[in-house]
A and B are shown apart, each in its own frame.
Chain A
Amino acid sequence: MVEGEEIRIGVYVCHCGINIASVVDVKKVVEEASKVPNVVVAKDYQFMCSQPGQNMIVEDIKQHNLNRVIVAACSPRMHEPTFQKAVERGGLNPYLFEMANIREHCSWVHEKEKAAATDKAIKLVKAAIAKARLLKPLKVEKVKVIPRALVIGGGIAGIRASLDIANAGFEVHLVETRPSIGGNMARLDKTFPTLDCSQCILTPLMVEVSKHPNVTLHTYTDVVGIDGSVGNFKVKLLKKPRYVDESKCTGCGTCVLKCPWTAPNEFDMGLGKRKAIYFEFPQAVPLIPVIDTGHCMYFQKGTCRACERFCPTKAIDFNQKPKEIELEVGAIILATGYGLYDVAKAMPEYGYRKYKDVITGLELERVVSATGPTKGHILRPSDGKEPKKVAIVLCVGSRDEKHLRFCCRFGCVAGIKHAYYVVSHIPDAEVYVCYRDIRTFGKGYEEFYERVRNYENVRFIRGSPMEILQDADGGIYFDVFDANTNRVVTLRPDLVVLETGIVPHPTFKEVAKVLKCAIGPDGFALELHPKLRPTETSVDGVFLAGAVQGPKDIPDTVAQAGAAASSAIALMSRGYVETVPYVSSVNEDLCSGCGICQPLCAFDAISLVKKEDGKEVAKVDVSKCKGCGVCAAACPSGAAQQLGFSDGQILEMVRTLAR
């Protein structure tokens, strides 16, 4: 389009089937639009987004020499890109297009006031025409994508995503805050419903990812800063000191054997003990120990040094310092996983942490595990005896308006699996599963439930206890109303297992803060669209894998990890991203350099720069700008303008609407 050229507008009013046409008189809208100056063509059509609808636009641009196009239809969030592409096919700059939302903003909300809705639709179209006259072509920039990905979180989600990306030929940096990768899945003894040994299916993947030529593993490392945007993220990592030289250590374990000091074992959820220098678990990857300075006598009192003395390769390094690592990546995958709801604090009525024989499901996993604190024998924590009566309580904290409103999505089947653990380890034990509803939605879950339900020593009680109490003799007891028998039953189990609700892993909050990615009301990462874009976030180039997005079982986690990986691969293999041109732009002649806009920018996109003549002006880094418009609104001189939404364009729309 040439400056000063006559403005020729085409207006297209969509019926959206009957979504719009049953309320808005589309013919009348067309009639009114065609009377407006500069409108050359005005038409209505049943589905503008269809192929014939789009072709109509392409044809009309050519036939009528149109240089502006307006579609009055649904929300621009739905179909703006569709029509921009059509306009481009017609040979116009795609930003010479404007959309009037006469569905969400009109027909859907004014269903019962047809005449008024039609009036409103006409006004919205006229406002769009007013703006269209002032539209200017905008330029889309292509930015190179660094062909390297960062995966945050080394659980099954992060491992799977890393392997998929690495296998596609891209470089991956996998960051894990703990000394070993593996995550929560490494804690499990078996996985439902097939009862595969969790370690047996996980450890090969742990080894594979650590040995993959395209993968760099950063264990015992935190993400401390992320800057930049899609295609070009600058990441800062902080590698915590293990006090063991990774290049010298062979993982022989002599140091661990010789260390005389112990501490509660985090991997066993605090149930067992570990040494002050320890492997996180026997199959840890990498198999390099770490010194817990809080419990190491050398760090506490300056004596001992047994590990150093006995290490055959002289790998102990008490002077190791935290190490900063800087990386540039094109895509990021968040796979920080989940943590358990703090039942001890939030639900004191259940006595968790107060009574030793009330444990969580994850603790039972450690108890049952051959590498756990009891070497795989189910023994209760209080006296080490084999429990003959076990109660399993589902929905602890989950589906509760006062705690976590959502379903944890694996507690039911985990509880059923835990009942199976008990009866398979202790055949003469009785198990009571207290449930509110049993949700066995996954493949094979209902069949597994049926299998366990058929054990005669596993009983399902339809009801949840209100509280769990402990008698003077240490015995646990609770009352539970059973809806199936209409009786309040008193249970005196030897062991209680709480299937606790889950929350985002504590590390997620920090990462979300540095990334500025949206968090949902449940505290988990918010996906861009719950159905159509479940692995994308509000930040371009940042994808979600696993429980970071919401509670998930292993199959769903692995599936989403694959999806997140393929999103990252698609981005990197295309090699570039197109910037959205709706960004802020500063007119340097008008800018006084007052700097009001700079601290208001939530994305650090504005800086003050000195021009050659010494004048200070605001400068927008378009790669960081998200087009929120805050600077444009705050600018006292009108120097900052948001492209595609300039003051002149918006005010012209307002004037038209007010007429």
Chain B
Amino acid sequence: MKCSSGCTAAKVVDKYRPHEIVALVKAGYSEELINSDVIWACSVCLKCVEYCPQRVSPFEVVMTLRNEAITRGITPPKSFVEMAKSIVKVGYIQEPMYIMSKEFEEVSRTELGLPEMPKPKDIEKFKQHVLSVGFERLREVV
């Protein structure tokens, strides 16, 4: 239970306990987890992977559960959907944003003299591939 002692998410999300997730999966309760939003709380810090004395990776278990939830047509937290949509559209989780400088100017790449963000050359082909490697299971994206 070292994982739950050191887990970043467990310190701020009471119901998130990596050891419990692994134990539930082992005991055959995956269904419960797939249908719960708790699997989306992981902060991807990988401490559980690093310090587990049994060489278990709760992180991998959680990612597998997330994948399975998507396969079942369960909608993940909204931001994940937005990021996925954006990848399909422009190849990145979001497009360049305007941010406020200390001088209260709204600036983005052009204003800062930065070149245009390089995007996938053949965006249609890229989109097709992204969908084929799993994004097509996400209803909101298709």
| Chain A interfacial positions (CB closer than 8 Å to B) | 349, 395, 399-403, 436, 462-467, 478-481, 483, 486, 488
Contact = CB atoms under 8 A, between A and B. Distances in A.
A466 B3 contact: yes
Given A466-B47, A488-B10, A401 B1 contact: no
18 contacts: A395-B53, A399-B53, A401-B53, A401-B54, A401-B55, A463-B4, A464-B2, A465-B6, A466-B47, A466-B51, A467-B51, A478-B5, A480-B5, A481-B1, A481-B10, A483-B1, A486-B17, A488-B10
A466 B53 contact: no
Contact of B5 (A395, A399, A402, A463): A463
A481 B5 contact: yes
Interface of B: 1-7, 10-11, 17, 19, 47, 51, 53-55
A164 B54 CA distance: 42
**Nearest 6 A/B pairs, CB to CB:** A466-B6, A481-B4, A400-B53, A401-B55, A481-B5, A466-B2
Nearest to A403: B53
A83 to B, nearest CB: 46
Contacts of B1: 436, 462-464, 481, 483
Contact of A481 (B17, B53, B55): B17
Given A349-B51, A466-B3, A467-B51, 9 more contacts: A399-B53, A402-B55, A463-B1, A465-B5, A466-B2, A478-B5, A481-B5, A481-B17, A488-B11
Interface centre among A465, A466, A479 (most CB of B within 10 A): A466
Name B's interface SS. helix
A480 B54 CA distance: 18
A479 B5 CA distance: 6
A395 B53 CA distance: 10
Given A436-B1, A481-B17, A488-B11, A467 B53 contact: no
B15 to A, nearest CB: 10
B53 A479 contact: no
A211 to B, nearest CB: 47
B138 to A, nearest CB: 33
Interface centre among B2, B7, B11 (most CB of A within 10 A): B2
B54 A464 contact: no
Nearest to B15: A486
Given A463-B1, A466-B47, A488-B11, A479 B6 contact: yes
Contact of B53 (A402, A463, A480, A486): A402
A395 B10 CA distance: 22
Contacts of A395: 53
A259 to B, nearest CB: 45
Contacts of A480: 5
B54 A481 contact: no
A474 to B, nearest CB: 22
A480 B17 CA distance: 12
A240 to B, nearest CB: 40
A436 B4 CA distance: 13
Contacts of A399: 53
B47 A481 contact: no
Given A479-B11, A481-B19, A466 B54 contact: no
A463 B7 CA distance: 13
A349 B3 CA distance: 13
A287 to B, nearest CB: 44
A163 to B, nearest CB: 40
A400 B50 CA distance: 12
Nearest to A467: B6
B2 A465 contact: yes
A470 to B, nearest CB: 16
Contacts of A462: 1
A483 B4 CA distance: 9
B53 A488 contact: no
Contacts of A488: 4-5, 10-11
B105 to A, nearest CB: 38
A469 to B, nearest CB: 10
Contacts of B47: 466
Contacts of A436: 1
B43 to A, nearest CB: 14
A653 B17 CA distance: 62
A658 B56 CA distance: 48
Interface centre among A478, A480, A481, A488 (most CB of B within 10 A): A481
A531 B5 CA distance: 38
Contacts of B55: 401-402
A196 to B, nearest CB: 33
Contacts of B17: 481, 486
Contacts of B2: 463-466
B6 to A, nearest CB: 3
A464 B6 CA distance: 9
A402 B55 CA distance: 7
A503 to B, nearest CB: 17
